[in-house]
Amino acid sequence: MQDADLIIHNTGQLVTCASGGKSKRGAEMLDVGIIGDGAVAIANGNYVGVGTSKTILQDFHSDELVDAEGRVVCPGFVDPHTHIVFAGDRLNEFELKIKGAAYLEILANGGGIISTVKQTREASVESLVEQSLARLDKMLACGTTTCEIKTGYGLDSATELKMLEVIVELDRVHPITIVPTFLAAHAVPPEFNENPDKYVDLICDNMLSTAWKWFVASDFHGQVPFFCDVFCEQGAFSLDQSRRILETAKGIGFKIKAHVDQFTNLGGARLAIEIGATSIDHLDAISDEEVDLLAKSDTIGMVIPTENFNAGKTQYANARKLIDSGCAVSLSTDYNPGSAPCPSQPMAMAISCRYQKLLPSEALNAATINAACSIGLGDTVGSIEVGKRADLAIFETYDYRQIAYEFGGDLVAAVYCGGVAV
């Protein structure tokens, strides 16, 4: 008999999302790997045993036994695309949008991302940490145990670095595992409005290498990857500008992701796939040829239905088609003050099932193992498998499909990060 620090047993369904570290594509996304009356044994923060309650209680001993009382246990959610480090809010913009203003119109008039940039530039590290911790707490309460966080509300060297300092501090003090992404190319800052290419020069000649030096010296180095992202969109960065930034970043050592096809198809999906991006995100306007390219690539297609829901749109990225074409699809909240003020992966799943026609099984894989692969952590989180970090949530239900079926409530009964109840 092997010793464990903790055994959780008597689950109604132990939903493993097991994949052997790989992303799930196409029809594989239907399989969530359910073990009926399942149990896990945890030691040193990782799973050491995954099986039925009978076998785990036979093979492992622990003084710490948790009876799940027939409820559902799933991997903690991975939220692979967030912008949660920012100051203030966009409540006025919410009202403007209700009255009919469009997102890109608000951005072009110096609102949107730029209004959050102004507030974030003025905020201290301490105040940004405090505001962002409250957002991480909400995500944790919704069952998220790993997330990606982007910079991109600084848009100058000093503030982008300040945001990175905030992100590393969040990782130090909060139980959620964090992956940082450098998004200096989120919008053109007002001081470069007359000459956006000069801002691209600054990013390529200076900001990227400075950020990389910061990463190498930070606690993240050797633990998680560091991504570079661009917003490839009309009114943000053109295809050529995006190419320059992503190629420079790749040369420095960054892993790549990109916001593409949120509103307009500029060819960003093809570009990012060819560069070997880990994920391409949004995909509302992706073309059929690009879907085929994506299906043949190792890049993950990330859909973000919270953005469409928030904008009151009836059109969503065609995630059904992506999956049916054989792509690996992931799901994120995009938690940010403008286009998606949503901390909840269960809410993203609920919207995705209704408007993108994902089945609950596909939505769950998209929000766990495929989300983990979207941030380069497919080997360590996102599924319940021996050797992985013991991040899980217990849900107040006997059938995992309820997580997507109900919405607006809260089924999360308990969350464990690295085998510790949080």
| Tokens, residue 416 | 């464990």
**Minimum distance, C-beta of residue 81 to ligand NIG, in the bound complex (Å):** 7
What is the rounded distance in angstroms from the CA atom of residue 121 to the CA atom of residue 126?
13
330 beta partners: 302
Nearer to ligand NIG, 339 or 397 (CB): 339
Residue sitting closest to ligand NIG (CB): 338
**Minimum distance, C-beta of residue 83 to Fe ion, in the bound complex (Å):** 6
What is the rounded distance in angstroms from the CA atom of residue 378 to the CA atom of residue 357?
25
185 beta partners: 230
3-class secondary-structure state, position 297: coil
Nearer to ligand NIG, 68 or 185 (CB): 185
In the list ligand NIG, Fe ion, none, the entry touching 180 (Cβ below 5 to 8 angstroms by class) is: none
What is the rounded distance in angstroms from the CA atom of residue 376 to the CA atom of residue 277?
11
77 beta partners: 144
**Minimum distance, C-beta of residue 82 to ligand NIG, in the bound complex (Å):** 9
Nearer to Fe ion, 148 or 334 (CB): 334
In the list ligand NIG, Fe ion, none, the entry touching 307 (Cβ below 5 to 8 angstroms by class) is: ligand NIG
In this structure, the strands spanning 392-395 and 72-75 are antiparallel
Tokens 């009356």 found at? 37
In the list ligand NIG, Fe ion, none, the entry touching 160 (Cβ below 5 to 8 angstroms by class) is: none
Nearer to ligand NIG, 55 or 264 (CB): 264
Note whether 11 and 72 are within 8 A (CB): yes
In the list Fe ion, ligand NIG, none, the entry touching 113 (Cβ below 5 to 8 angstroms by class) is: ligand NIG
Binding letters toward Fe ion, positions 324-363, x by CB under 5 A: ----------x-----------------------------
Q: Rule CB under 5 A: which of 279-298 touch Fe ion?
A: none
Q: Which of 43, 136, 79 is nearest to 374 (CA)?
A: 79
What is the rounded distance in angstroms from the CA atom of residue 247 to the CA atom of residue 321?
29
Nearer to Fe ion, 284 or 334 (CB): 334
**Minimum distance, C-beta of residue 334 to ligand NIG, in the bound complex (Å):** 5
Alpha carbon distances (Å) from 114 to 165, 188, 214, 304: 21, 9, 25, 21
**Minimum distance, C-beta of residue 231 to ligand NIG, in the bound complex (Å):** 5
In the list ligand NIG, Fe ion, none, the entry touching 154 (Cβ below 5 to 8 angstroms by class) is: none
Name every residue whose Cβ is closer than 8 Å to that of residue 223 and which is 6 or more positions away in sequence: none
Binding site for ligand NIG (CB under 6 A): 83, 112-113, 116, 231, 259, 262, 307, 334, 336-340
**Minimum distance, C-beta of residue 347 to ligand NIG, in the bound complex (Å):** 16
In the list ligand NIG, Fe ion, none, the entry touching 231 (Cβ below 5 to 8 angstroms by class) is: ligand NIG
What is the rounded distance in angstroms from the CA atom of residue 378 to the CA atom of residue 224?
11
In the list Fe ion, ligand NIG, none, the entry touching 8 (Cβ below 5 to 8 angstroms by class) is: none
What is the rounded distance in angstroms from the CA atom of residue 382 to the CA atom of residue 17?
8
Nearer to ligand NIG, 243 or 257 (CB): 257
Tokens 């690295």 found at? 418
Residues found near Fe ion in the complex (CB under 5 A): 334
